[in-house]
Structure 1
């Protein structure tokens, strides 16, 4: 890991997603990376499942504005999400937004086996 790095797990998920959905997507996306924060769009950041995951992992959950989501350059390009959210991947955009201006994705977003949640991991410099 880079010195003074932040490693952010960004999430996109459906209302039916539970903590198991989020944890599965996180395991797939993060591998052995030590995550330092979680991120999701403002309308999802207060969801009970994400709050439970943050509490379980003892990590802060950051809300990301719609404007920040729309500005992100993502590796994934879902046309459905582009229409709904103005970006190719909510998970990738949220991770990049919280990881900072020089952040980079470690890999494209991963989808939970139940297809209810996505997670992507970005690395950036400590703010």
Structure 2
């Protein structure tokens, strides 16, 4: 299972989501998209464009997941350093590993990270 995890602000565009994913390594081989359940609707345009399912995650599932990058704001809100990295790791399953640190869209409204795991 290869999961692209996302952090996104309200109003993030399809172009911003695509940009973040491209910077994270691109969609090739990705089998699922993942983010917080409260933000899942924002991934719908990308989900439709790539014909991939979205895995909505509860915030508690991300708490305490170690990440390669760290945002003080995200750490305070969700107990993890990066929503994109934590979502990718949580959705990819136990023992999952990140391909690289999160990438940020040019407009700053979306972040993406890709993890590989057993699901």
Match of 2:35 among 15, 25, 40: 40
Partner of 1:100: 93
* Structure 1 length-normalised TM: 0.89
Q: TM-score scaled by structure 2? A: 0.95
The Cα RMSD (Å) is: 1.2
Moved over 3 A (4+): none
* Aligned with 1:21 (options 1, 16, 21): 16
Unaligned runs of 5+ in 1: 1-5
1:82 is matched with 75
Structure with larger Rg: 1
SS of the equivalent of 1:80 reads: helix
- The count of residues paired between Structure 1 and Structure 2 equals 119
Of 51, 54, 72, the residue aligned with 1:61 is: 54
SS in 1 for 2:68: coil
